[in-house]
């Protein structure tokens, strides 16, 4: 028989539903009924129970509930780098919506490592999460295979994956907008720039889209550049291709590129134009003024959660892949070719 402390305040063992039942002179079920607000309980009893709950400082044990219900209201989130404001913002929005639906989120920062991913999946699965959201993943096929095997609801957010439910922007369109913008400004020689801060699959599709868009706009493609962002942060001055227009795989890479070009004496937008991808709010500020292809973060988070909750709610059927529209935001890192 559990006792708990009769007084509120620091306690060793928390009061249980039985304590509440005893104190209010009713059965466990009645207490349970008032807690859950189901099946009519007479006002008198309800009041007594609520009083006992307040006096005891009782809090339902969610663990026990989850065990008996054989389901949790916990979602597992994978993100590559929370230090990237794009993902920080995305996690924040996703968590906000999840909270609105009564779900709590567990976060795993994977640093893009598939070992870390796998380890976290194990943890999440043992904790019986209701579903998983991959805000950024290593793309390791073993992960997809594992999730399918375990048949846990999962959604890919901010990227595309035909084998999962997913929501992301129209990558081709986004890159197209960037190239079109540069072409209209008179740039004829363009270069694609990526870095370790870009998810590999995303990088591939953006790069491919870049190549296509260049052809469509009659632009010449320079050698693509793989920028070492950390080195730039540390003060290095990496070489960059001789293009006048640059399309970066994401904003983080773009601002590092602007910095790197600056150190070579190639200032934006006079000597070079740079377009980013993501739409990080910060990039609007402090001399950055990055021209970029913005993703509809809010809508992405909302849609991603919805897709996931649909699956959690047993929805069946083939994967649904939602494609959102990107938007070009012109600021000050792009200008007419040749000044």
Sequence-distant (≥ 6) Cβ neighbours of residue 236 within 8 angstroms: 228, 260
The CB-of-6 to DNA minimum distance in angstroms stands at 16
| Residue 29 interface partner, choices DNA, its own copies, none, CB cut-off 5-8 Å depending on type | DNA
Site for its own copies in 27-66 (CB under 8 A): 57, 59-64, 66
SS3 294: strand
The CB-of-3 to DNA minimum distance in angstroms stands at 9
Could you tell me how far CA 98 lies from the centroid of its own chain? 12
Site for its own copies in 231-260 (CB under 8 A): 232-233, 252, 255-256, 258-259
Tell me whether residue 58 or residue 210 sits nearer to DNA (CB atom).
58
Site for DNA in 41-70 (CB under 7 A): 41-42, 44-45, 58, 60-61, 64-65, 67-70
Q: How far from 263 is each of 193, 232, 258, 260, CA to CA, in Å?
A: 17, 10, 9, 5
- Only one of the segments 14-22, 149-157, 160-168, 176-184 lies at the binding site for DNA (rule: CB under 7 A); that segment is 14-22
Does position 16 interact with its own copies (CB under 8 A)? The reply is: no
CA atoms of 63 and 195, how far apart (whole Å)? 43
Beta-bridge mates of residue 225: 193
Q: How far from 219 is each of 179, 187, 192, 267, CA to CA, in Å?
A: 9, 8, 12, 21
| Residue 30 interface partner, choices DNA, its own copies, none, CB cut-off 5-8 Å depending on type | DNA
| Residue 239 interface partner, choices DNA, its own copies, none, CB cut-off 5-8 Å depending on type | none
Report CA torsion sign: 214, 219, 221, 226.
Answer: negative
Report CA torsion sign: 83, 84, 85, 86.
Answer: negative
Q: Which burial class, exposed, middle or buried, applies to 85 when counting CB atoms under 10 A from its CB (0-12, 13-18, 19+)? A: middle
| Residue 18 interface partner, choices its own copies, DNA, none, CB cut-off 5-8 Å depending on type | DNA
- In the list 6, 8, 220, 242, the residue contacting its own copies (rule: CB under 8 A) is 8
- In the list 284, 323, 329, 330, the residue contacting its own copies (rule: CB under 8 A) is 284
| Residue 27 interface partner, choices its own copies, DNA, none, CB cut-off 5-8 Å depending on type | DNA
The CB-of-190 to DNA minimum distance in angstroms stands at 56
SS3 82: coil
Phi, psi (rounded to 5 degrees) for 198: -120, 135
| Residue 101 interface partner, choices DNA, its own copies, none, CB cut-off 5-8 Å depending on type | none
| Residue 2 interface partner, choices DNA, its own copies, none, CB cut-off 5-8 Å depending on type | DNA
Contact status, residue 79 vs residue 94, Cβ threshold 8 Å: no
CA atoms of 233 and 251, how far apart (whole Å)? 14
Report CA torsion sign: 125, 130, 133, 139.
Answer: positive
Contact status, residue 79 vs residue 86, Cβ threshold 8 Å: no
Per the listing, tokens 């959690």 go with 312
Tell me whether residue 14 or residue 204 sits nearer to DNA (CB atom).
14
What mask, x for binding its own copies by CB under 8 A, covers residues 94 to 133? -xx--x----xxxxxx---------xx-xxxxxxx-----
- Helix or strand run (H / E) with residue 115: helix 114-126
Q: Which residues bind DNA (CB under 7 A)?
A: 2, 13-14, 16-18, 25-30, 32-33, 35-36, 39-42, 44-45, 58, 60-61, 64-65, 67-70
Q: Which residues bind its own copies (CB under 8 A)?
A: 8-11, 57, 59-64, 66-67, 72, 74, 81-85, 87-89, 91-92, 95-96, 99, 104-109, 119-120, 122-128, 148-151, 232-233, 252, 255-256, 258-259, 262, 281-288, 290
């Amino acid at each position: 028989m559990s006792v708990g402390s009769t007084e509120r305040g620091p306690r060793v063992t928390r009061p249980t539903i039985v304590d509440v039942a005893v104190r209010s002179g009713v059965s466990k079920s009645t207490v349970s009924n008032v807690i859950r607000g189901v099946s009519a309980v007479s006002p008198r009893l309800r009041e007594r129970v609520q009083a006992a709950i307040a006096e005891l400082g009782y809090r339902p044990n969610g663990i026990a509930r989850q065990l008996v219900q054989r389901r949790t209201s916990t979602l597992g989130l994978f993100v590559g780098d929370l230090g990237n404001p794009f993902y920080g913002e995305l996690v924040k929005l996703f968590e906000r919506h999840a909270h609105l639906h009564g779900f709590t989120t567990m976060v795993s920062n994977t640093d893009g490592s598939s070992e870390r991913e796998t380890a976290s999946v194990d943890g999440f699965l043992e904790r019986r999460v209701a579903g998983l959201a991959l805000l950024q993943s290593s793309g390791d096929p073993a992960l997809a295979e594992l999730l399918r095997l375990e048949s846990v609801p999962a959604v890919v957010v901010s990227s595309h994956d035909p084998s999962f439910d997913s929501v992301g922007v129209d990558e081709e369109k986004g890159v197209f907008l960037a190239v079109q913008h540069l072409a209209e400004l008179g740039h004829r020689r363009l270069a694609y720039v990526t870095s370790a801060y870009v998810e590999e699959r995303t990088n591939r599709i953006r790069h491919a889209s870049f190549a296509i868009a260049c052809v469509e706009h009659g632009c010449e493609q320079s050698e693509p550049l793989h920028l070492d962002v950390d080195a730039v942060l540390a003060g290095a001055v990496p070489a960059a291709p001789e293009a006048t227009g640059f399309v970066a795989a994401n904003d983080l890479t773009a601002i590092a590129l602007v910095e790197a070009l600056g150190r070579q004496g190639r200032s934006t937008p006079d000597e070079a134009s740079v377009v980013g991808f993501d739409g990080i709010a910060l990039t609007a500020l402090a001399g950055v003024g990055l021209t970029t292809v913005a993703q509809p973060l809010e809508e992405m988070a909302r849609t991603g959660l919805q897709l996931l909750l649909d699956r959690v709610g047993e929805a069946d059927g083939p994967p649904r892949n939602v494609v959102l529209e990107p938007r070009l935001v012109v600021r000050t890192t792009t200008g007419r070719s040749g000044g």
